[in-house]
Structure 1
Amino acid sequence: MRVQRSLYEVLDVPPSATAEQIRHAYRVAARRTHPDAGGSSPAFDRVTLAYRVLGDPDRRRRYDLRLAAGTPHPSAPRRSSPGRSSPGPSAPGPGAPGPGADPMVRRRYLALMLVALTLFISAGTVVRLYSVTAAMIMMVVAAMIPPVAVTVASRPRRAPSDPRPRAGEDRGVRADRTPPPGSDR
């Protein structure tokens, strides 16, 4: 059984390292472990994960708390039940949740797939009863839904504490604040 190294050990820096030291250590380790430079892909992925966690002050603080509490760090692999091996590639680490990890996103994705299936089935009925043109339009629309659904389900999700405005939100005046006197709103 392989002993898990801390993310600090992966980058070969002490826990007291500054952000600049971590950035420098990442660049050195990335050059050493990159697959194009003769390194292995899993080693490079591990270095990248270490930098993603340690390079972000908030993630680093949470990681340090988890490390101090003695709980496994973010990249600790999950074990399957004894006697079973999981076929195929392993699940992505916590820094990269798979598409549909969020139940709301999964429901939205399944709803879009249901709409696509309904349009395909309806197109077959329409072609028999009404018009080939209408059926073809329905099938084209239905064929465009799956890629859109995958894009929606796979897009990166922001943390609720992210200060950046959401799409469509005014950057100057937030909806939960009253507008300043004399404004048009």
Structure 2
Amino acid sequence: MEVRLKNAPCGYLKLDHKSFLIEANDTFLNEMGYKKQEVVGQHIESFLKPANKMVFHSYFYPNINLFGAVDELYIKFKNGEGEETPFLMNACQVEGDSEKFVDCILMPMRKRIDYEMELRASKKKIEDAYLKNEHALIELENIYQEIEEKQNDLLLLNEKLKRLANTDQLTEFQIVDYLK
């Protein structure tokens, strides 16, 4: 394996035509907590839990066999401690001198997932605050409408009181007009 590929900033796997690992770069081995002898010769599915095996069977194999490539497959590999580590995988089929093999590039997604979860949480908070503000605005508009109605009622009542205050109740004579 080339030195640049051995220490590339992403994981690299080389699989034979039956999906057994031929090579793995140091970046992948270090990320996953494996030694080279623990992975070389192993079937790639031995690093997958059942749910990810289903994804692998339904996406990886059909695409690699039909189109010779796989783009942006989200997959989780078991690390040396049995925990899953998420990766974004791109792969392409390559014709060697005597056989076909598959080159796989694996980008760790742990930080990306944390970032997306943080974004979702922030988005949820913003949406909740927006809804709260919408409800508050509706409530304020209702209160404003109620105040307008009460103000109109008070103005009408005030007019009645003015008329009563300025009218002699016995004669219904306008006192204000008489004084002018």
Q: Say which structure, 1 or 2, has more relative contact order (CA 8 Å, 6+ apart).
A: 2
Q: What is the TM-score of this pair, normalised by structure 2?
A: 0.26
Higher strand share: 2
Larger Rg belongs to: 2
Q: What is the TM-score of this pair, normalised by structure 1?
A: 0.26
